[in-house]
Amino acid sequence: MTSCNVKSKGSPDGTDDAARKVYVAPGEHDEFYAFLSGGFNGQVSVYGMPSGRHLKMIPVFSQHAENGYGYSEESKALLNTTYGNIPWDDLHHPKLSRTDGMADGRFLFVNGNNTPRIARIDLTTFETVETLEIPNSAGNHCSPYPTNNTEYVVAGTRFSVPISDEGGIEDIELEKLNEYYRGSISFIKVDDKSGEMDLEFQILVPGFDYDIANGGKGPSEDWIFFTAYNSEQATTLKEVNASLHDKDFVAAINWKKAAEYVKQGKYREIPAEYFHNKMDKKTHVASSEVKKKVKVISPEECPDIMYLIPTPKSPHGVDVDPSGEFICVSGKLASMVPVHSFSNMLKAIENKDHVDVFESIPILKYESVLAAEVKDIGLGPLHTEFDGKGNAYSSMFVSSEIVKWRLKDFEILDRIPVYYSVGHLMIPGGDTHKPDGKYLVAMNKITKDRYLPTGPELCHSAQLIDISGDKMKMLLDFPTIGEPHYAQAIKADIVAPKSKKIYRLDENEHPHATLKEADTRVERDGNIVRVYMTAIRSHLAPDNIEGIHLGDTVYFHVTNLEQDWDVPHGFAVKGARNAEILIMPGETKTLEWIPTKTGVTPFYCTDFCSALHQEMQGYARVSPEGANVPIKYWLGDPKK
């Protein structure tokens, strides 16, 4: 009974062998960093691979009460948008920055799907340092895609919307929606040195739904491919009405040509309001800039930047093989994977092998571009990655399996069940021209009986599969945080040596930093009380404060004076309608506290920093409004 049950759950054959392959002994390090998106939790989770150990959660688009991200005065601005400060988003796709087509370990770009945004995470600190709102977009799903030298990060819309030439999204009758709506593909220039983003231009494209983007490499380096579904341009009951056509499209866009057109001045500038939020490296304070305009180009005015390739059926993933020749598309309602040939595509363009034109965009002939159809591959193909040894691996959502097939002859070689309903899959470097074909991670939407039940809400999961041999071998299951849509992995030795240990106190230019204990003080300016506090093992200075009144807004500017690795201090105030803050060595962070009750209010360090951490505490006295209690503060003895 037990053995039968185990077998039906697909446990690896030769469990000991699998255990050895994922066992990273205590104190030893994993071979890879894996960055898994958190989906609806708006964060990125960092795992060690192959152990599946969770190393860190990087807050990006969601407030993170654990360390004060999005709550502290310094980080609030990173969540600013034209809709206001938004404490949540749906984070789908992490993509590592690239140099010469290979992940370089400098930055991780991620998309916010719901309120269109792109964020950049610095991999020396594993912190979000920049967010950029994308105007004229809705459902920022087919993004981010970095070009091979991170010249651009590209972001596309899932929902097409009525983009107004006068700026913004128009208010029009929904019944007429499909007459007006358009999609946008945004090209975000990335600064070579700083990594800073700048929305350089947008291509306004036909009103389909754009789903996934991936770029070429080698011969196809200048191109990016987008899957486009809802070629029916339905606006209601899309489940049915967007599934009518036998074929939708892959949109091939020549980004180099598009950038050249912009350089030649063939663009229009239209009003567009969007936020650009940056964390200053020296002050560690994020600030927002509101941009007012965006350059747009259209395929009509700039011919030969965009072509449509008919592709069955409601295609989802589009993945280019390491050679740059094969464009593998997963038609989620098709039971085969069509593989387009880049060289065929160029020929078809040259020969004007068009079957039609859609709003001036040539539609190439399916048969002329196609290299092959991988038949009977499974049900619900979604994504494909590559091992660099001539093989492709496709995820099957409906039939819950990973299917290995050969690019040489499009033959299916192997299949392995996954548990259950796999979405994305990831091979380290599997989207670059030189994959590291040792492991594959399947990211599953449904887990049901795979773990101990936890009530109606269950975790999503990742499964680690050994792809080093002929046959795929299941090695490990591990629960994930949120919903991992996609992931990236990189050899640890590219990232780990650059990981920062502390922030230098002598480089701290925070406007409210207190660089030594002698400078700690409390200042009143009208109703604003600023506490310039320091934290060091094991005391807060000052630790007793009087003279705060109801009606005041108190800012605790806490500087961690430590310059030693792994000595953060935390800070929390009783009754603060806020979160705590975690302050890294050398950093200054600010907690806003608007007292709501009179009395004596304790505050303390929340991160067990030292043997006398429990002594790291103090009191704030809150007096009634207008009471005659002057500002006074202590550390040991009263200070003036």
Partner 1 sequence: MNRLPSIFMILAAASLSLLFFFPMWKIYLDAPQYPEGLEMHIWINKIGGDSEFTLQNFNILNHYIGMAPIDANSFKELEIMPLFAFGFIGTALLLALFPKRGLIMTWLVLLALAGIAGISDFYLWLVKFGTDLDPSAPIKVPGMTYIPPLIGSKQLLNFHAFSFPSIGGAGIGLAMLFGALAFWKTYAKKIKKEEI
User: Interface residues with partner 1 (CB under 8 A)?
Assistant: 502, 536-538, 562-565, 611-612, 615
Nearer to partner 1, 246 or 615 (CB): 615
Nearer to partner 1, 451 or 608 (CB): 608
**b/e code 131-148 from CB counts within 10 Å (16+ = b):** bbbbbbbbbbbbbbbbbb
Smallest separation (angstroms) from partner 1 to the CB of 537: 5
Nearer to partner 1, 355 or 515 (CB): 515
496: three-class secondary structure by DSSP = helix
Nearer to partner 1, 23 or 565 (CB): 565
| DSSP calls for 320-349 | E-TTS-EEEEEETTSSSEEEEEHHHHHHHH
Nearer to partner 1, 233 or 538 (CB): 538
Smallest separation (angstroms) from partner 1 to the CB of 566: 8
Smallest separation (angstroms) from partner 1 to the CB of 376: 55
| DSSP calls for 20-39 | HHH---TT---SEEEEEE-B
Smallest separation (angstroms) from partner 1 to the CB of 560: 12
Separation between Cα atoms, residue 294 and residue 198, nearest integer Å: 11
Nearer to partner 1, 487 or 536 (CB): 536
Nearer to partner 1, 288 or 563 (CB): 563
Smallest separation (angstroms) from partner 1 to the CB of 564: 5
Separation between Cα atoms, residue 529 and residue 555, nearest integer Å: 6
Name the residue with tokens 């940056």.
278
Smallest separation (angstroms) from partner 1 to the CB of 567: 9
> In angstroms, what CA-CA distances link 197 with 189, 462, 507, 544?
6, 31, 24, 44
Nearer to partner 1, 448 or 501 (CB): 501
255: three-class secondary structure by DSSP = helix
Torsion region of 439: left, alpha or beta (phi above 0 gives left; psi -120 to 50 gives alpha): beta
Smallest separation (angstroms) from partner 1 to the CB of 612: 6
Q: Which two tokens stand for residue 338?
A: 């069509």
Q: Which two tokens stand for residue 54?
A: 């969770």
113: three-class secondary structure by DSSP = coil
Smallest separation (angstroms) from partner 1 to the CB of 502: 8
219: three-class secondary structure by DSSP = helix
Nearer to partner 1, 464 or 567 (CB): 567
Q: What's CA 431's distance to the chain center, in Å?
A: 16
Smallest separation (angstroms) from partner 1 to the CB of 25: 15
Cβ–Cβ under 8 Å, residues 593 and 549: no
